[in-house]
Amino acid sequence: MKIEFANARPAEADVLAFFVTKSSFDGFQFPLQNAQMVHDTAKLARFKGDAGQSFLLIAEEDGKLVRIVLLAVAEGDAGDYQKAGGDIIAKVQTSGATHVAIHAENLSAKAAAEAAYGATLRNWRMDKYRTKLAETSKPTVQAVTVVGAAAEAAALWPSYAAIAEGVALTKELVTEPANIIYPESFVERCQHLRDLGVEITVLDEKQMAELGMGALLGVAQGSRRPARMLVMKWDGTGGKQERPVAFVGKGVTFDTGGISIKPAAGMEDMKWDMGGAGAVAGAMKALAGRKAKAYVVGVCGLVENMPDGNAQRPGDIVTSMSGQTIEVLNTDAEGRLVLCDALHWVQENYNPEYVVDLATLTGAIIISLGNEHAGLFSNSDELSDKLTAAGKASGDLLWRFPLSKAYDKLIDSPIADMKNIGARGAGSITAAQFLQRFIKDGVKWAHLDIAGTVWADKAGPVWDKGATGFGVRLLDRFVADNFES
């Protein structure tokens, strides 16, 4: 979908969108031939301008029938325009309309760009495997023109567009089935980031074995798909930032649970158990695409967890790259085994001051938070506050959970340094405590459990049913607010 900025409404526009607030609706001057009729019809339908309300009608304008969409936003909330932009697309994406004109004459440049951004995010969908899609179900919108504040909004747009492209990459990786996206093909899907200036390094199984990554490789040993570690480096500071920010993503491209096999019902969803790695890849694309003035390293531990005759068994003991030993009581608690080696590796090789890992790690976090927030665990109040603020600003919301020695004791093993699961209670916390054992002194670390937020069973404000792209906007905002001057 093409995004354009103009000072006048294009003649070919067949959807006309207007933004109002509750206080401005009654006196709003619609630049329409039938302005009063539109206003009166909206009021008759109980549209009052309350934030989140929307209204669509078909009316005649310049001798042709067009769709007119009214969207109510909160007073002074630029971020609300992002959701409203998504609402436009949700209403007309498959309607037969081809060109949306967003009237932004009464908006700030930021609000206008946010509206176009929301429309772009919401427009993403994957239809390439649908060979018999009805014509009435196919997307028809080809262009969105933002009318008014053209020069100022257009100047802001390249950064928004880059983030949207990062979110699109994440949605693509998460949506693809496991026979298409597996460790090797995940790496291939990210090769185009080189064109944006991202330095890419890939570790294969032999290299990881030589480094002693027994935890990560133990998860992969039951699959015919070989494990990979994908490392993406972006330095937009010209070497001025000595220590990078590190993002580490869990990339289990399909999770059967291994020998501790999952129930069959719903197992198909486990194609998105690489949502953390998908978010890291998308964030790296966003940062490089907008030429972020920051030094960031993204690491994705990529494996497939399968239950063949060579698979890891409950009760096995593995040695991690850090030298710590792990008693594997449940092979379905595999994500932490992947992450612990990836976390240790990035600290050994890049000495980051800040490390943030993202993982669809526990079902327990969904019990706690549902699908509205991701869980946040951190050894640093400063880092936690910065991530929470970035979550609120971006729309990728976080909620902090505790860490303590009392919880840490729950994963002590009688025959190894630790076990990979604790008791039934506090499952998300003990998983985070496990990861914290691989964080070096002085490193500010946060773990984001995103199991409830990477996939949606119903459409949201800026995503359709399916992959949400969670994490990309969050990480990009975190970098923009704290590491770019």
Identify whether residues 140 and 172 lie together within a single domain. no
φ and ψ at residue 434, rounded to 5 degrees: -60, -50
How confident is the model over 409-462, as pLDDT tens digits? 999 999 999 999 999 999 999 999 999 999 999 999 999 999 999 999 999 999
- At 75 the pLDDT is 80
In a domain, 417, yes or no: yes
- At 199 the pLDDT is 98
pLDDT band at 149 (very low <50, low <70, confident <90, very high): confident
- Check if the beta carbon of residue 387 is closer than 8 Å to that of residue 482: no
From edge to edge, which strands make up the β-sheet containing 295-305?
A: 199-203, 228-235, 295-305, 245-255, 354-359, 444-449, 374-378, 398-400
- At 306 the pLDDT is 98
Q: Residue 345 corresponds to which amino acid?
A: W
Name the token pair of 208. 């990881």
For 25, the 3-state DSSP assignment is coil
Q: Taking the CA atoms of the chain, what radius of gyration do you get in angstroms? A: 24
Identify whether residues 209 and 255 lie together within a single domain. yes
In a domain, 309, yes or no: yes
φ and ψ at residue 373, rounded to 5 degrees: -135, 155
Identify whether residues 179 and 62 lie together within a single domain. no
pLDDT over threshold 80, residue 485: no
Identify whether residues 120 and 168 lie together within a single domain. no
Sign of the four-CA dihedral 155, 160, 162, 168: negative
Identify whether residues 113 and 205 lie together within a single domain. no
Confirm whether 224 is a catalytic residue. Answer: no
Identify whether residues 382 and 436 lie together within a single domain. yes
Cα gap 4→16, rounded to integer Å? 14
pLDDT over threshold 80, residue 342: yes
How confident is the model over 161-184, as pLDDT tens digits? 999 999 999 999 999 999 999 999
How confident is the model over 112-142, as pLDDT tens digits? 999 999 999 999 999 999 999 999 999 999 9
Cα gap 397→417, rounded to integer Å? 34
In a domain, 153, yes or no: no
Which domain CATH number covers 121?
3.40.220.10
**Angle ∠(103,38,109) on CA atoms, nearest 5:** 15
Average the pLDDT over 18-39 and give the result.
Answer: 92
pLDDT over threshold 90, residue 78: no
- For the chain, how many structural domains are there in total? 2
From edge to edge, which strands make up the β-sheet containing 418-419?
A: 316-319, 325-328, 418-419
Model confidence, pTM: 0.97
- Per-residue CA distances from 128 to 2, 18, 315, 367 (Å): 20, 33, 43, 34
Which of 97, 122, 147 is the C-terminal boundary of a domain? 147
Catalytic option among 189, 262, 392, 440: 262
Identify whether residues 271 and 420 lie together within a single domain. yes
- At 77 the pLDDT is 74
Identify whether residues 386 and 456 lie together within a single domain. yes
The DSSP-derived string for 425-454 is TTHHHHHHHHHHTTSPTT-EEEEEE-TTTS
How confident is the model over 236-265, as pLDDT tens digits? 999 999 999 999 999 999 999 999 999 999
Count CB atoms within 10 A of the CB of residue 96: 12
Cα gap 294→352, rounded to integer Å? 13
In a domain, 356, yes or no: yes
Catalytic option among 91, 336, 444, 477: 336
Residue 452's closest CA among 320, 348, 360, 342? 360
Is pLDDT larger for residue 75 or for residue 231? 231
Identify whether residues 465 and 430 lie together within a single domain. yes
Identify whether residues 66 and 209 lie together within a single domain. no
Sign of the four-CA dihedral 72, 78, 79, 83: positive
Which domain CATH number covers 465?
3.40.630.10
Q: How many helices (H) and strands (E) does the chain have?
A: 14, 19
How confident is the model over 363-409, as pLDDT tens digits? 999 999 999 999 999 999 999 999 999 999 999 999 999 999 999 99
In a domain, 158, yes or no: no
Side-chain-side CA neighbours of residue 423 (13 Å): 7
In a domain, 450, yes or no: yes
pLDDT over threshold 80, residue 471: yes
Identify whether residues 87 and 212 lie together within a single domain. no
The helix (H) or strand (E) run that includes residue 2 is strand 2-6
In a domain, 152, yes or no: no
**Angle ∠(249,116,41) on CA atoms, nearest 5:** 130
Name the token pair of 226. 């070989």
* Structural domain range at position 343: 163-482
Q: Average pLDDT over the chain, rounded to whole?
A: 96
Identify whether residues 25 and 169 lie together within a single domain. no
Confirm whether 138 is a catalytic residue. Answer: no
Please give the sequence-ordered ranges of beta strands (E in DSSP) within 277-431, or none if there are none.
295-305, 316-319, 325-328, 354-359, 374-378, 398-400, 418-419
Name the token pair of 139. 């997307």
In a domain, 8, yes or no: yes
